[in-house]
């Protein structure tokens, strides 16, 4: 938790391409008194920002150095190639890495994909950023392979993109300092994972409607047992459901089957009149 105890706040870092708007909206609905500040941070710098306390949590692209950090993988992105609209590749639905073998493919210094062997022909110089590489693609001097969200982020009217099969994929995760799993971090984890307000892992839970506490349930059971117990404390009762329980019996008569009263004298069968 950041800020003072009187006015807490939550700082969320995120890498370019990730869109946290949905989770921020839910946060504002559930925790309107806790402001959430958004920080856009280059992908390579987010782990250091989290370790230094510059943010309470952040969206990162895996893999990262997990030293002192916890992380929950969230989803995997499709990898695409960014191309001019009039490029020959734009005529197909998807391409393979082999299809790019004769093309100049840019690999910017802030690239987030991990390659065993980079595809295409190397450019004379690596662009400093992905955004710079997109500008070069628009100039018609090469192509760019990136996670789909980055292709959308730096979209231009004169460019398009196609999925690339066989390429590494970008995994997006939520990360935070391992030693600082605060209540607010737990709240945000719950939001990202889709937990409801009354989830068993959430805080400030409200009891489900129609259900009381264990103490209330015990009281209800005791009242029900007392209601069923025959009046006067007797163990017996009428065989037909106890309708006669509690009513005075005649002298010398039994209080019912198994009752404690004196046994009534046996009577013979009445004789028929001749």
Question: Average pLDDT in the 16-28 region?
Answer: 96
Assess whether pLDDT exceeds 50 at residue 224. yes
**Any idea which residue has 């259900």 for tokens?**
211
Assess whether pLDDT exceeds 60 at residue 217. no
State the distance between the two ends of the chain, measured CA to CA, in whole angstroms: 104
- Write down the pLDDT at residue 102: 95
Question: Average pLDDT in the 248-272 region?
Answer: 48
For residues 98 and 129, is the Cβ–Cβ distance under 8 A? no
Query: Where does the pLDDT of residue 121 fall: very low under 50, low under 70, confident under 90, or very high at 90 and above?
Result: very high
Q: What is the pLDDT of residues 168-206, one digit of tens each?
A: 999 999 999 998 789 999 999 999 998 877 664 545 444
DSSP secondary structure letter of residue 239: T
Peptide bond connecting 63 to the previous residue in cis, omega within 30 degrees of 0 = yes
- Write down the pLDDT at residue 222: 74
Phi–psi pair at 228, nearest 5 degrees = -80, -20
Question: Average pLDDT in the 135-154 region?
Answer: 97
Domains of the chain and any CATH numbers: 2-76+171-192 (3.40.190.10), 79-168 (3.40.190.10)
Based on the number of CB atoms within 10 Å of its own CB, is 197 exposed (0-12), middle (13-18) or buried (19 or more)?
middle
The residue that leads in pLDDT, 107 or 180, is: 107
Question: Average pLDDT in the 69-91 region?
Answer: 96
Query: Where does the pLDDT of residue 21 fall: very low under 50, low under 70, confident under 90, or very high at 90 and above?
Result: very high
Neighbouring residues of 192: CB distance < 8 A, sequence distance ≥ 6: 23, 72, 74, 174
For residues 112 and 45, is the Cβ–Cβ distance under 8 A? no
Q: What is the 3 state secondary structure string of 46-111? A: HHHHHHCCCCCEEEEEECCCCCCEEEEEEEEECEEEEEECCCHHHHCCCEEHHHHCCCEEECCCCC
Sheet-wide strand order for 105-106: 95-96, 159-165, 79-84, 143-147, 105-106
For residues 9 and 37, is the Cβ–Cβ distance under 8 A? yes
The residue that leads in pLDDT, 20 or 269, is: 20
DSSP secondary structure letter of residue 272: P
Dihedral over alpha carbons 107, 111, 117, 123 (to 10 degrees)? 10
Question: Average pLDDT in the 14-30 region?
Answer: 96
The mean predicted confidence, pLDDT, of the chain is: 82
- % of residues, the chain, pLDDT over 70: 70
Which of 35, 42, 30, 37 is closest to 11 using CA atoms?
37
Comparing 97-101, 117-121, 155-159, 229-233, the range with the smallest average pLDDT is 229-233
Question: Average pLDDT in the 95-118 region?
Answer: 95
Query: Where does the pLDDT of residue 268 fall: very low under 50, low under 70, confident under 90, or very high at 90 and above?
Result: low
Q: What is the pLDDT of residues 24-37, one digit of tens each?
A: 999 999 999 999 99
CA distances from 172 to 58, 84, 142, 145, 169 (A): 10, 27, 27, 17, 10
| Strand 170-177 versus strand 57-62 pairing type | antiparallel
The residue that leads in pLDDT, 66 or 273, is: 66
């Amino acid at each position: 938790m950041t800020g003072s105890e009187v006015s807490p706040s939550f700082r969320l870092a995120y890498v370019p391409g990730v869109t946290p708007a949905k989770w921020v909206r839910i946060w504002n609905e559930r925790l309107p008194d806790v402001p959430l500040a958004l920080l856009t941070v280059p992908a390579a710098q987010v782990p250091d920002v989290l370790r230094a306390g510059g943010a309470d949590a952040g969206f990162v692209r895996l893999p990262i150095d997990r030293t002192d950090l916890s992380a929950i993988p969230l989803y995997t992105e499709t990898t695409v190639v960014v191309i001019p609209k009039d490029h020959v590749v734009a005529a197909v639905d998807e391409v393979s890495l082999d299809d790019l073998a004769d093309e100049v493919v840019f690999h910017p210094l802030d690239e987030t994909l991990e390659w065993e062997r980079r595809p295409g022909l190397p450019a004379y110089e690596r662009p400093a950023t992905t955004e710079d590489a997109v500008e070069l693609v628009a100039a018609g001097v090469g192509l760019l392979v990136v996670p789909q969200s980055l292709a959308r982020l730096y979209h231009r009217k004169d460019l398009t993109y196609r999925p690339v099969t066989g390429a590494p994929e970008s995994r997006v995760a939520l990360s935070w300092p391992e030693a600082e799993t605060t209540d607010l971090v737990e709240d945000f984890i719950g939001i990202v994972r889709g937990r409801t307000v009354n989830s068993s892992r959430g805080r400030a839970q409200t009891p489900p409607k129609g259900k009381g506490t264990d103490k209330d349930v015990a009281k209800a059971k005791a009242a029900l047992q007392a209601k069923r117990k025959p009046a006067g404390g007797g163990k017996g009762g009428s065989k037909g459901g106890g309708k006669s329980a509690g009513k005075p019996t005649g002298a010398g008569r039994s209080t019912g089957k198994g009752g404690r009263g004196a046994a009534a004298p046996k009577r013979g069968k009445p004789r028929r009149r001749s």
